[in-house]
Chains A and B, each alone.
Chain A
Amino acid sequence: MNIYAQNILDHYKTPRNFGSISGAQIKHSEANYSCGDKLSVDIKLEADVVSDIKFKGTGCAISQAAMSILTEDVMGKTKKYILNLKFDYLQKLLGVPVSESRYKCAVLGLMTIQNALKMKGNKKN
């Protein structure tokens, strides 16, 4: 099975949790400058648990679909849990092998969410 499995294309065409959250405590964006993939994320935390997450972005199917899949996965999880996620976890979520040349695309979403959670000043609710 290749990376353009039905699941990936489905998330690319109809991304889940797409949009923004007005009044979210956490807002962050990241980009792969070399290819122009862009992602921005809004996160609402309640007692260190993600109570809502929404994203917007443009770019390749891998970067956008991976983010859509991730937002579904991290909903309701703790900050600590999310910060510990590694690439192999993402790879399992995607359900298809990611080649070396697409690693940067696949990992952008995870990086965006983790860096958002690491930002200073979002300790309190």
Chain B
Amino acid sequence: MQIRKNFPLLKNKISNKQIIYFDNSATTQKPQIVIDAVTDFYENKNSNVHRSINPLAEIATREYEAARIAVRKFINAKKNNEIIFTSGATDGLNLVANILGKGVLKKDDVIVLSMAEHHANIIPWLMLKEAIGIKLEYIQIQKNYRLDIGQVKRILNNKKVRVLSIQHASNVLGIINPIKDLINICKKNNIISIIDAAASIAHTKINVQSLDCDFLVFSGHKIFAPTGVGVLYGKEDLLNRLPAWKGGGDMIREVSFEGFSVAELPYKFEAGTPHIAGVIGLGRALEFLESMGFKYIKQQELILTRYFLKAISKLNFIDLVGPFNIQDRLPIFSFSVQGVHPHDIADLLGERGIITRAGHHCVQPLHDKLSLPATLRASLSFYNTTEEIDIFVKEIIKIHKMFI
């Protein structure tokens, strides 16, 4: 596969075994052009943005803002102003929860989440609950691991509901939620919609204008860009209406000892020196993806999903936590192996160069609900291969044999 050659780490070995990287939901590997963009910035362009008047700062600022345009195009936002750079999905969710908490939410307002949310989309709301007394309601997951749409409609009809904050895809179950339908219900009921696209961004095209969501967040590192950089998309009128949250350099127009006035969008929400090299790397990663196209990515991932599900369906000691149905599903597979704790499997797979994750994947409430202390997760990307799945399955069978 030609495209795989772009990812230097995938060529490495661990204990003399070719690396099989099945932990893409934790973070993805980086293509050479992203690594080069980061190196080039520090070697040739390093300076601060939006501050000094000098030729280096001018280059840095230009490239930083070019990345904003790349993001706008990538998610089809209307305006560059609607793209706020953050440190990641977690930072974006905290930012939006806090500005809503400061600007519009009141005691007893209801925030709706799903039962499968990542801690990053639960804890900021639990903090607001402690701070101002909002209430949380959770949409159930059905036996087929999908959302209960009947229940969604009932919940969202409650006049007290002000916000729906929900993941586009689950980083545990691998399901894709019908967010377009959910956002439509929100529109009818005057509910603010927030989409956590952290798990889906590398797998499926996002178009914020056709989704018509109010906010959307994702992390750069889950889409082949550096860690420590992410995006909050917000509709311009909402971002304009909401108060700033973090204070510092870049986010102000004027400061005196007595007060301040905030800068225009998007700087109003970008206090402090940002991760400039990371942002530039993100822009480059998105261009790399665009050049490959989501059609190709989908096609590859569908092949891998079919192959993986077929392979594990033959193993009667594996219990998949997620649908076997490939409709609206990503190549993210969490499961338990009867008689073997996930940590033991991950450890043994690691010795064979196979990188997976064991635990609750920062989604502990869902694991509690399913009465599972932990699962093993294999999360694939377009650069993985069916040969890698064959090796993975062979090793799982061997490990299971060791333990029975």
The closest CB in chain A to the CB of B404 belongs to: A13
Contact A101 B347 (CB under 8 A): yes
Q: For residue A35, which residues in chain B have a CB less than 8 angstroms away from its CB?
A: 341-343, 358-359, 373-374
Partner-binding segment picked from A16-24, A56-64, A73-81, A87-95: A56-64
Mask, B265-277, CB within 8 Å of A = 1, is 0000000000000
- How many residue pairs link A and B with beta carbons under 8 A? The number is 41
A59 to B358, CA, bound (A): 13
Q: For residue A58, which residues in chain B have a CB less than 8 angstroms away from its CB?
A: 373
A125 to B341, CA, bound (A): 37
Within the complex, the shortest CB–CB distance from A2 to chain B, in Å, comes to: 6
Instruction: Give the residues from 100 to 129 in chain B that come closer than 8 angstroms, CB to CB, to chain A.
Output: none
Contact B360 A34 (CB under 8 A): yes
Q: Does A3 lie at the interface of the complex (its beta carbon under 8 Å from any beta carbon of B)?
A: yes
B374 interface neighbour in A3, A36, A99, A101, Cβ under 8 Å: A36
Instruction: Give the residues from 105 to 119 in chain A that come closer than 8 angstroms, CB to CB, to chain B.
Output: 105
| B340, B344, B374, B402 — most chain A CB neighbours (10 Å) | B344
Q: Does B179 lie at the interface of the complex (its beta carbon under 8 Å from any beta carbon of A)?
A: no
Number of interface residues of B (CB under 8 A): 15
Q: Does A102 lie at the interface of the complex (its beta carbon under 8 Å from any beta carbon of B)?
A: yes
Contact A61 B373 (CB under 8 A): no
Contact B402 A102 (CB under 8 A): no
Contact B341 A59 (CB under 8 A): yes
Within the complex, the shortest CB–CB distance from B338 to chain A, in Å, comes to: 13
Q: Does A12 lie at the interface of the complex (its beta carbon under 8 Å from any beta carbon of B)?
A: yes
A101 to B347, CA, bound (A): 9
A9 interface neighbour in B342, B347, B360, B403, Cβ under 8 Å: B403
A37 to B358, CA, bound (A): 13
A2 to B340, CA, bound (A): 17
The closest CB in chain B to the CB of A31 belongs to: B373
Given known contacts A35-B359, A36-B373, A36-B374, is B403 in contact with A105 (CB within 8 Å)? no
Contact B402 A60 (CB under 8 A): no
Q: For residue B351, which residues in chain A have a CB less than 8 angstroms away from its CB?
A: 2
Mask, B239-277, CB within 8 Å of A = 1, is 000000000000000000000000000000000000000
Q: Does B152 lie at the interface of the complex (its beta carbon under 8 Å from any beta carbon of A)?
A: no
A2 to B347, CA, bound (A): 10
Q: For residue B95, which residues in chain A have a CB less than 8 angstroms away from its CB?
A: none
A105 to B341, CA, bound (A): 11
Q: For residue B341, which residues in chain A have a CB less than 8 angstroms away from its CB?
A: 35, 37, 59-61
Within the complex, the shortest CB–CB distance from B15 to chain A, in Å, comes to: 10
Q: 7 more A-B contacts (CB under 8 A) besides A3-B347, A62-B343, A102-B347?
A: A4-B348, A12-B403, A34-B359, A35-B341, A37-B341, A60-B342, A61-B341
A residues lining the B interface (CB < 8 Å): 2-4, 9, 12-13, 34-37, 58-62, 99, 101-102, 105
B residues lining the A interface (CB < 8 Å): 340-344, 347-348, 351, 358-360, 373-374, 402-403
